[in-house]
Amino acid sequence: MSDAYDFDDDFDPTEPFVLPEELRLDEPADTAVAAVPTDPVGMEPTDELIPDFPAPPAMIADELPAFGYADATPMEEPLIVEDPAPGGAINGVDQPVPQISIRAFCERPDTVAMIGSAALDRRLARAHVQASLGGLPEAIEYYHDENTPNLILIESGMRGAALFEQLDELANVCDPGTKVIIIGAANDVGLYRQLIRRGISDYLVPPLTSLQLIRSIADIYVDPDQPFAGKVTAFIGAKGGVGASTLAHNVAWQISEGAQAGTTIMDLDLSFGTAGLDFNQESNSNIGDALAEPDRVDDVLLERLLTKCTENLSIFTAPATLDKEWELDPAAYETVISQVRASVPHVILDLPHTWSRWVKSTLFAADEIVIVASPDLASLRNAKNLYDLAKASRSNDAPPKIVVNQVGVPKRPEIPIKDFADALGAEPVLVLPFEPQIFGKAANNGQMIQEVKADSKAAEGLSHLAGLLTGQTCAPRKRGLLQKLLGRG
């Protein structure tokens, strides 16, 4: 264990990973690669996914080029889309696919495995996905006696008249409203246009990843009446008392003030939440009212339940009472979060340090995860467990961001940041020094760190973290004298 560090001169939040020089790793830590499950959860077992269908004709299989499956390698950085793009990506955020049934008929086991990986993705969490071998002929035969699902995926190496003849046969057995996506072999614009004219929803050509497939599906089913989806970032502490809630609230304020972007904090620590205290706000309505009847939540109800803090920042305060245990279905949280994210560009989830079905599902459904830890053994163990599980469960997403908070507590033995990062297998994106006077004053006054001491290292670090989450500078505007006299403006 090392002695406490002095942060007075070396801490610079604008440098890579925002680590002081004496705490910075010499080399980036190796990043573990999550393997693609061979027997995806939520789908039939592997031996049932690949039944003994007759093998596709050799000429068809030979025409299919090698697929560039990349599902086993997580994205190093989140995909940022400047404008609405095909595939359900709106404002840089991938839209979740609604509750639909999807059946895939493939010609190769690799394609079955790729679809199985896609079925595990958070964006397909509500969809029911099945995949098997057999290709287009098997789909035609199967649906002679069965109702068709919402979406059929067909892998076929055929082209020309033979392909169109079989597609006509498939059309004859499809129920009205069924969509079809073809995974083909020819990168041919003419073929694509012919297929679209015949009513095919999309035509995909290898190399193909599960994320590309998910976006193609989402592009078909995104609600045209509500296409917007704000980015959801979940903050969770590796253990109690590490300051995850404080950081979540301050980062949300930095985003709303610095980026001038609409932001909502959802305090999901229903029994002990502090968002109301941190912003010096009292409200008779809270997030418990929405969670109790999630199906009633709409724009009008949200307007009544949310507490407005500034022009761009609202909070969903927690009930913060012990007269109810709040044992709710995870679907209630999902419904309310979906409604909130449809109204603002940024949603910050302040999750409690507990582990339950709803916490796990809510955490892993977020677009971005921030794990807050302190430099001690218990925090390291828990942070690694969270980090590894999130990476394995979210192979198409960026890994969680790690923040090490409260570094340099006097006379407290600490794990050096280099050792912490080595054991975790990832470098922190931010290391925050222990500044009890600033944080204590902010908490007692119901203020943000930037309002208490704008030139502090903590304020600079929080602004940097907000910038990482938004992709833009988040330095709050300086307020004039009148704004200061009137309070937050």
- The residues near 137 (Cβ < 8 Å, ≥ 6 apart) are 166
E strands in 145-255:
151-155, 179-183, 202-204, 231-237
Segment 365-393 shows an average pLDDT of 96
Nearest to 24 by CA among 382, 422, 458: 422
CATH homologous superfamily of domain 50-221?
Response regulator (3.40.50.2300)
How far apart are the C-alpha atoms of 45 and 34, rounded to whole Å? 20
With cut-offs at 50, 70 and 90, classify the pLDDT of residue 88: low
- pLDDT band, very low/low/confident/very high, at 34 (cuts 50, 70, 90): very low
Measured between alpha carbons, how far is 415 from 4 in angstroms, rounded to an integer? 10
Entry pTM: 0.70
Band (420; pLDDT cuts 50, 70, 90):
very high
Rounded CA separation 227/242 (Å): 37
447's CB contacts (< 8 A; 6+ apart) are 280, 441
Task: Write the DSSP assignment of 413-471 as a string of letters.
Answer: -B--HHHHHHHHTS--SEEEE--HHHHHHHHHHT--HHHH-TTSHHHHHHHHHHHHHHT
Q: For residue 263, how far is the Cα from the chain centroid?
A: 16
Share of the chain above pLDDT 90, in %: 50
Sign of CA dihedral 195, 197, 198, 204: positive
pLDDT over 70, % of the chain: 77
DSSP summary character for residue 259: S
Lowest average pLDDT, out of 38-52, 102-116, 129-143, 411-425, goes to 38-52
Per DSSP, 18 falls in state: G
Q: Is the dihedral of CA 449, 279, 402, 409 positive or negative?
A: positive
- Over the stretch 39-66, which tens digit does the pLDDT of each residue have? 333 444 333 333 333 333 333 333 433 3
- Domain positions in the chain are 16-22+230-476, 50-221
CA distance 478 to 54: 71
pLDDT band at 175 (very low <50, low <70, confident <90, very high): confident
Alpha-carbon gap, residue 221 to 219, rounded angstroms: 6
**Mean pLDDT, rounded, for 289-313:** 89
| Spatial distance between the Cα atoms of 458 and 189, rounded to a whole number of angstroms | 54
Please, what's the largest Cα pairwise distance for the chain?
79
281 pLDDT more than 60: yes
The count of other CB atoms within 10 Å of the CB of residue 141 is 15
pLDDT of 1 higher than 70: no
Question: In this structure, are strands 202-204 and 151-155 parallel, antiparallel, or unpaired?
Answer: unpaired
Q: How large is the C-alpha radius of gyration of the chain?
A: 25
Per CATH, 16-22+230-476 and 50-221 having the same topology is answered: yes
For residue 347, give the nearest of 435, 251, 415 by alpha carbon: 251
pLDDT at residue 76 in the model: 34
152: left (phi over 0), alpha (psi -120 to 50) or beta: beta
pLDDT grade, residue 278 (50/70/90)?
A: very high
- Owner of token pair 């940022």: 80
DSSP structure class, residue 479: P
On the CB side of 293, CA atoms within 13 Å amount to 7
Looking up tokens 């892998």 gives 155
* pLDDT computed for residue 476 by the predictor: 62
SS3 403: strand
CA distance 61 to 48: 21
Sorted by sequence, the CB contacts under 8 Å of residue 180 that are 6+ apart come out as 151, 152, 153, 154, 167, 170, 174, 199, 200, 201
Spatial separation of the C-alpha atoms in residues 354 and 10, rounded to whole Å: 35
Span 315-340, pLDDT tens digits? 999 998 888 888 888 999 999 999 89
Tokens encoding 320: 């913060």
Cα 123 to Cα 120: distance, rounded to the nearest angstrom: 8
**Angstrom distance (rounded) from CA 33 to CA 52:** 32
Tell me the two tokens of residue 174.
Answer: 């499809």
- Residue with the two structure tokens 């570094």: 407
- Write down the architecture of domain 16-22+230-476 according to CATH: 3-Layer(aba) Sandwich (3.40)
Continuous H helices in 209-292: 210-221, 244-258, 275-278, 287-292
- Per-residue pLDDT for 83 more than 70? no
pLDDT band at 226 (very low <50, low <70, confident <90, very high): low
